[in-house]
Amino acid sequence: MINFIKSAFTIRNLLISVLGGSAMLLLMFLIQLVIRGSWDSLSWDNDLIFPFILGAGLALSTFEKRFKKK
């Protein structure tokens, strides 16, 4: 359990999760732009936390560096 906590709280993993969440939000906005065809119809609403968490989780599961015992 201690090894999990040590690997979870690193600056690298924090940066990976923030960038992954931001990339997912950007993808969502690009999809909205393609479907609606205008920048005027893009909307920030309260439901954007799920795509952010989904992108952060996907990025962490892909790029996370596991903590190894010495």
Residue 33 belongs to what domain range?
18-62
Domain contains 69: no
pLDDT tens sequence across 59-69: 888 877 665 66
- The pLDDT of residue 7 is 64
Domain contains 4: no
Q: What is the DSSP string of 8-67?
A: HS-HHHHHHHHHHHHHHHHHHHHHHHHHH--GGG----GGGHHHHHHHHHHHHHHH----
Domain contains 40: yes
Write out residues in the chain with pLDDT < 70, as ranges: 1-8, 41-44, 46, 65-70
- The pLDDT of residue 35 is 86
**Total count of domains within the chain:** 1
Picking from 45, 1, 48, the residue whose alpha carbon sits closest to that of residue 27 is 48
Domain contains 9: no
Domain contains 8: no
pTM of the model: 0.69
